[in-house]
Amino acid sequence: MNHTKRWSNTVSYIVLILLAIFFLMPVYMILVTSFKPLAEISMSTMWNFPKNPSLEGFVNAFQKLGPNLKNSFLLVIPATLLSCIIGSVNGFIFAKIRFKGSNIVFLLILFGMFIPYQSILFPLIRFLQQIGLYGEIGGLILVHVVYGIPITTLIFRNYYTEVPDEMIEAANIDGANMFKVYTKIMFPLSLPGFVVVIIWQFTNIWNEFLFAVTITSDPTKQPITVALVNLAGSQVVEWNMQMAGAIVAALPTLLVYILLGKYFIRGLMAGSVKG
Amino acid sequence: MKSKRKLIGFFVVSPSIVAIAIFVYGFISTTIRTSFSNFNSYSRLVKNEFEFVGWRNYQRLFSDYRFQTDLWNTLFFTIFFLLGCIILGLFLANTLDRKLKGGRVFQNIFLFPYALSFVVTGTIWSWFFAPGNFPTDPSGVNMLLKNLGLGSLQWGWFTVTESVGKFNLALIPVIIAATWQLSGYTMAMYLAGMRGIPTSMIEAARVDGASNWQIFWRVKMPMLRTITLSAMIILGHISLKIFDLIYAMTGSGPNNVTDMPAVYMFDLTFERDRYAMGAAVAVIMLVMVAFVIVPYLLSTLKKEGSK
């Protein structure tokens, strides 16, 4: 029995290690490429370790992508915070207050999370042009906050549903009004929920591409995802810079993931609709 | 007192309701209207000379070779991407569920690609699968194969135009990239599901002499049915909408071998000013996604209602 168990564990480890190599192979390649000087980039040595490690790729990537990196932060931080506030208030109402037809309304809101954004894209752009936000970071913030309403409301609603009704009734008897119930009971209880939503919105908005590429056409206003794709579109692809750029673009969300991984997984779970 | 509270509640969420009504349902109706119009040039759009043309844009699309290719590509991409993620995710979850030492490290390795954007994934994998001038001067994975003495396996990857039936083989690298990014996510979903299975059930099966294989199929799988359904729906709606990955990794490819409806929609609307045709593609995409999502949402509602 013990013998078979050890044997099956060994097999498991071998398979896991092989799969881990497959998962990390692109990471190895991107790292070695990004630390090579341009002169050393060649097809025949692309799997080799850099002979003269250099930061040239990163310096160039920062020079080209620096402003876009800043744009991404200017977009993601306000959009995430606004999403949180709106989602939390909505979630509280849909979980604990409810009104006639609130379940149907909630479902209709939820549908907005799954639609292909192509189906609203063109009218959206015309609308942003009319209100003067087309091509602006502010326009992107508005878009992400609005289309973030379904998922943030869902996560908070699921979170608040767990709070026992007795707690709210007790507060009501003590004469607390709705505002007090929210600020004194629900809000403090839901701080972990906030972390989940912050991670969720931060990574999604940071990584988003379709809105970014269609709403901002001015390169100085584009978020980093668009700028990264445009790097590849230039005449000669400087692969070391390209790979360094990919690392720069991925780093903020990877850091969030490394530092707050535990919550990240909870965020993932909340993304699957469940009661 | 209670009804007053409900009224305030409604009042508080009403801005969100209005926003969704306009930004989701209002804009969708505009897109549907555009898809039945003659807005297929910039001048017609700015002059706003709306003319109802019936199903003409749709008829054109369905007889369009590129769009037909897109639909086949979506179908095969969806099937293989879903199969890849679910099989790999389930396998990883089941292996890691045995609480091996160092399992946490493996879990993180498999999950980290999910934190990346499709744009980064596409950039990395386009470099990885760039075929180079093989067999003499290969790059990326072809180079690796050559070094490993498997030179005969070198291939054109996403640049090939061969197909098996309607399945364009150039999609294989794209499917690998997408599976690389999302199988860890599928694993995380299954792991959460497996942690929810009472250990007593598994112990009982083991006492009855069930093998690991039997425990997996007879005890775990039936408990994981809802997770499989959720995973299929989440991955399915991602694959029906796939855009960033294609855009960053391969583009439409030679003869549209890696083209997708979302890429065609972008092309029609933003490169060629054929807004009505683009809108028709968007509506078809919406209908495809709705077929997957609406029954799912309704069943969730029913379940909650019965609680």
Give residue-wise pLDDT tens across range A180-192: 888 888 888 888 7
ipTM of the complex: 0.88
Partner A contacted by B171 (CB < 8 A): no
Instruction: pLDDT band for B297, please (50, 70, 90 cuts).
Output: confident
Partner A contacted by B244 (CB < 8 A): yes
pLDDT of residue B103: 85
Instruction: pLDDT band for B304, please (50, 70, 90 cuts).
Output: low
Partner A contacted by B188 (CB < 8 A): yes
pLDDT of residue A274: 44
User: Tokens at residue A91, please?
Assistant: 């979630």
Partner A contacted by B108 (CB < 8 A): yes
pLDDT of residue A233: 66
Mean pLDDT in residue range B254-270:
94
Which residue stretches of chain A have pLDDT < 50?
273-275
CB contact under 8 A, A122 and B269: yes
Give residue-wise pLDDT tens across range A78-91: 999 999 999 999 99
Partner A contacted by B223 (CB < 8 A): no
Cα A275 from Cα A264, distance rounded (Å): 20
Neighboring chain A residues of B262 at a CB cutoff of 8 Å? 116, 118, 210
Partner A contacted by B291 (CB < 8 A): no
pLDDT of residue B48: 82
Query: Over 60: is that where the pLDDT of B86 sits?
Result: yes
Instruction: pLDDT band for B307, please (50, 70, 90 cuts).
Output: very low
Strand partners, B168: B163
pLDDT of residue B306: 54
CB contact under 8 A, A89 and B112: no
Contacts of the segment B12-20: beta carbons below 8 A, 24+ positions apart: B12/A89, B12/A90, B12/A93, B13/A89, B13/A90, B13/A93, B13/A94, B13/A105, B16/A86, B16/A90, B16/A109, B16/A149, B16/A153, B17/A105, B17/A109, B19/A146, B19/A149, B20/A108, B20/A109, B20/A112, B20/A146, B20/A149, B20/A150
Query: Over 70: is that where the pLDDT of B46 sits?
Result: yes
Partner A contacted by B115 (CB < 8 A): yes
Mean pLDDT in residue range B156-169:
86
Cα A273 from Cα A220, distance rounded (Å): 38
Between the CA of residue B195 and those of A193, A241, B100, B223, what are the distances in Å? 21, 43, 14, 11
Rounded to a whole number of angstroms, the distance from the CA of A242 to the nearest CA of chain B is 8
Query: Over 80: is that where the pLDDT of B56 sits?
Result: yes
pLDDT of residue B128: 84
Neighboring chain B residues of A43 at a CB cutoff of 8 Å? 132, 137-139, 143
From the list A12, A29, A122, which residue is nearest B275 (CB)?
A122
| B138 vs B180, more confident | B180
Cα A216 from Cα A135, distance rounded (Å): 4
Rounded to a whole number of angstroms, the distance from the CA of B109 to the nearest CA of chain A is 7
> Of A46, A229, A251, which is closest to residue B123 (Cα–Cα)?
A229
Neighboring chain A residues of B92 at a CB cutoff of 8 Å? 16, 19
Give percent above pLDDT 70 in chain B: 98
Neighboring chain B residues of A8 at a CB cutoff of 8 Å? 212
Residues A220, A69 contacting (CB under 8 angstroms): no
From the list A30, A89, A114, which residue is nearest B12 (CB)?
A89
Give residue-wise pLDDT tens across range B71-80: 999 999 999 9
CB contact under 8 A, A120 and B27: yes
pLDDT of residue B1: 58
Give residue-wise pLDDT tens across range B194-251: 888 888 888 888 888 888 888 888 888 888 888 898 899 889 989 999 999 999 898 8
Beta strands B163-164; B167-168: pairing state: antiparallel
pLDDT of residue A51: 86
Question: Which sign does the torsion angle of CA A236, A211, B44, B262 carry?
Answer: positive
pTM flag (> 0.80): yes
Cα B228 from Cα B234, distance rounded (Å): 10
From the list A12, A33, A253, which residue is nearest B115 (CB)?
A253
Give residue-wise pLDDT tens across range A100-123: 888 889 999 999 999 999 999 999
